[in-house]
Amino acid sequence: MPNRGSKPAILLRESIREGKRIRKRTIANLSALTLEQAEDIRRVLKGERLAPIDGSLECIRSQHHGHVEAVRTAIRRLGFEVLIDGKPSRERDLVAAMVAGRIIAPEASKLGLTQAWAGTTLAEDLGVADAHEDGLYAAMDWLIERQDRIEKRLARRHLTEGGLVLFDLTSSSFEGAACPLARLGYSRDGKPGTLQVNYGLLTDARGCPVAVSVFEGNTADPKTLLPQVEKVRESFGIASLVLISGALPHGALLERRVGDRGMISNVQIEAMRKLEGTGWITALKSGAIAKLAGAGQLQLDLFDEGNLISFTSGDYPGERLVACRNPELAKLRAAKRKDLIAATMRSSSAPCGSAPVMARASEGCSHGGGGPARRAR
């Protein structure tokens, strides 16, 4: 109770009835006690049983929860589970657990995922604590049957009429011999000479995934491009789009320069010309850039490191060419030329043997400062 300018007084009081009046009587002054001690007395008078904390509690187990809650909150905000399937099911919970598990324990395989999440609250929160690897693989089979519907929902969310569509291709090595798509091909994950599977990712302009396609391991890059255009136009109902290949932003499937020269070849460009509303952005090869410079259509002395040069050429009717100087690429090429000259000098047995190589390298210096020209429609 308040006690003027002093600290509050702690009094033990009782209420008594005298006739029609109720009076309060002080039994003891507990002001000398601490607030914690007074609170304990109050609880005892209420009938609570107090016991010492030391030795009364036993830790059965301790599970990590913070990162699980962060991932599950993001999943809920994105509407991920409804995106997978509108109806709750065991399979949907397993898929959500696998996706969350991949974020929480990215190094874990399907065989090790159930052990990886055992020390967290993830499995219990989603009701899949009894899951094993066979159940996870079965849930993936359930998921692949819904791929088309999921991709269409993602396209409605992220793709817009006349907007940019990015596509890139990569590969993963394959162990075993039972996969009908596994072939020997150009390895993009640094494991040449092994069976592999190619897969491509289609995203919006931000790099947000919309669709994934899987191809045989020996499928060439250009053959994967037109099927993506057809998917966007026919399956997703986007009639007007601008396609960029090999240009997914940092953090997506791959990180390359804008416009994969090998993927959007002249054959693919001629095919896309026939598709009304379809545009593209790619990059010219070095020979084509040199030809433009030799014809005087691309003046290298006008190059600027901050601004773009936009021009047209009769060799590319209906297209716009864009170029700017890339100082980082110039440094890279200059260093490469220097290394080649040094290697030639070391390996040449005759003093005159290196002269032709040095001459050719010097001739290339005049074009080394320019960046690759962009080709767009």
pLDDT band at 72 (very low <50, low <70, confident <90, very high): very high
Residue 152: C-alpha distances to residues 88, 232, 238 (Å): 20, 9, 11
Q: What is the pTM of this model?
A: 0.67
Q: Which has the closest alpha carbon to 270: 226, 220, 230?
A: 226
- Could you report the per-residue pLDDT of 178-193, keeping only the tens digit for each? 888 889 988 888 888 8
**In this structure, is the dihedral angle defined by the CA atoms of residues 68, 151, 163 and 227, taken in order, positive or negative?**
positive
In the numeric block, which tokens belong to residue 165? 């569509």
Residues counted in the chain: 377
As a whole number, the mean pLDDT across the chain is: 80
Residue 374, pLDDT score: 56
User: Residue 303's pLDDT is what?
Assistant: 66
Q: 107-121, 187-201, 262-276: which has the highest mean pLDDT?
A: 187-201
3-state secondary structure of 359: helix
Task: Identify the band that residue 327 occupies on the pLDDT scale cut at 50, 70 and 90.
Answer: confident
Least confident window among 181-190, 261-270, 368-377:
368-377
